[in-house]
Structure 1
């Protein structure tokens, strides 16, 4: 008799009205366990089916876990948490993945890998199994972005058939409830330094007569949004730094006089817009740093570097306030100097161009100073010790 202590593998399938294909998936999974000799169980994480899927699963001897919280990620986490095996292999219950051939996953898990991803592009995609939009745009683009943002070697970020060490995956704090769960597993496993590998797997046309739960544009955006939010460098730091440097350098150049590039002239009107670009860029850089410092404070898995750790050690309310105050005072001094010069001329008529040319750097320094002070105040909030439940 199989006991909790002897279960090595849990095969988890999220389920929402999969009566058409659930039985064949369960039979394939059970057939694999019987053929391979792997001691395991089949767990159906039901997300509120109304077509009798639960009864089908129980009649076939699978264990049904009812998950009230709706969503792909919620269903899978409910199933993973309820699993009894040391290893978990998850896959959709639409008969698009072959549960009868899980040997490559089990071999890598037994070898010590924490996460084993299937790769449908290496294993083969049956005609009609994946919409062209997903095959040639969605999956390649999102995988490229994931590999660019994070040091991952995975080439199929969104394969639904994957295996992992249950304890390792539960330890990385998965929180998403929807389809972006697929990206979260890969991203957080990578950031946590888990051992990740990839094996070929096949994808065939699912056996359902109804449309899939997946919504291409909505779910694609949710994946992209997750990747962006979990990498503030690419969302805020890099574009912000580029905007800040371009605006600042150009503003400094124009502060000494107009610039002519070919037939195009740049003067104080350009300087005003560069002020806005510099300010927005600086705010984006500050936001990126604050986002990473907050994630560090809360214990999230985020990409880190020695440079960031040095900044984190020195970033305090006091340091932010001092730097911000210095910038503000410098800008204010420019304003005072302009006022004194105006007073010396008897408050007469001024050259608008010359006045604006000098006023822009002064205003910019004051704006950057206030932004820095407010960022320092937020750091002060983070530094307040609190008692956590």
Structure 2
């Protein structure tokens, strides 16, 4: 049975460890400099270009990131391509739209060293309007379903997360759409992982969300994730 651990506040400890940070990217040229500047020193940024047309890949490369190309569209496809390209013992995931600070991942990695298996960021909006009502409602409904399905007292299915690479690969994640983050949590719970949720600041993103920027996008994401929950229950 999975074990849920509420997270602490950030202590700002510096971690000397090699880590790969997967940054799924679709037309995020404006946000990339801010995001890459905040990847902790010594860690490798893996920007997974998912078909950008705004020069994102070139910008990422010029700023020192390793660029991975994934032609198949989909958030899960980009995340998994980054996981397969990763080589470090620890792999982190972060959106590439400047809504989340990858520098916060140092605390996540420390928690892995302290015994957790999967650390998730619970988004806390820093200002009004950061998290649209439809996206918040969809996340609330899914979190409730996840709690019922796994027993984990989670409040968010956000993209900021960290785990060990070999363990993630053994989960055999198959979703390549919006359900990828959820499938990771469900399969981790089924495998008895120790899961912790930590509050993180949620900032105004750069540009419009490709997944939950509209009611239609949110609805499609919820459908993708409900499909994952049905599959998980049948495993």
Q: TM-score range by the shorter chain?
A: 0.7 to 0.9
* Runs of at least 5 residues in structure 1 that lack an aligned partner in the other structure: 1-5, 233-301, 303-389
Normalising by the residue count of structure 2, what TM-score does the alignment of the two structures yield? Answer: 0.86
Alignment of structure 1 residues 1-389 onto 2, 5 Å: 8-29=18-39, 33-34=40-41, 39-120=42-123, 123-135=124-136, 137-156=137-156, 158-208=157-207, 211-214=208-211, 215-232=217-234, 302=235
Provide the C-alpha distance between the structure 1 equivalents of 2:85 and 2:231, rounded to a whole number of angstroms: 29
1:113–1:165: 8 Å Cα contact kept in structure 2?
no
Q: Deviations over 1:139-186 (max 9, x none)?
A: 111101111022223221x21111111111111100000011011010
Provide the C-alpha distance between the structure 1 equivalents of 2:89 and 2:128, rounded to a whole number of angstroms: 35
Moved over 6 A (4+): none
Normalising by the residue count of structure 1, what TM-score does the alignment of the two structures yield? Answer: 0.53
User: Which residue pairs with 1:275 in the alignment?
Assistant: none
* Higher RCO (CA 8 Å, separation ≥ 6 residues): 2
1:7–1:84: 8 Å Cα contact kept in structure 2?
no
**Structure 1 position 125, deviation (Å):** 4.4
* Runs of at least 5 residues in structure 2 that lack an aligned partner in the other structure: 1-15, 212-216
How many residues get paired? 215
**Structure 1 position 93, deviation (Å):** 0.5
Q: Deviations over 1:11-38 (max 9, x none)?
A: 1100111111112111111xxx23xxxx
1:7–1:85: 8 Å Cα contact kept in structure 2?
no
Provide the C-alpha distance between the structure 1 equivalents of 2:103 and 2:94, rounded to a whole number of angstroms: 12
In our comparison, the structure showing a higher alpha carbon Rg is 1
Provide the C-alpha distance between the structure 2 equivalents of 1:111 and 1:93, rounded to a whole number of angstroms: 27
Q: CA RMSD in A?
A: 1.6
Structure with greater proportional strand content: 2
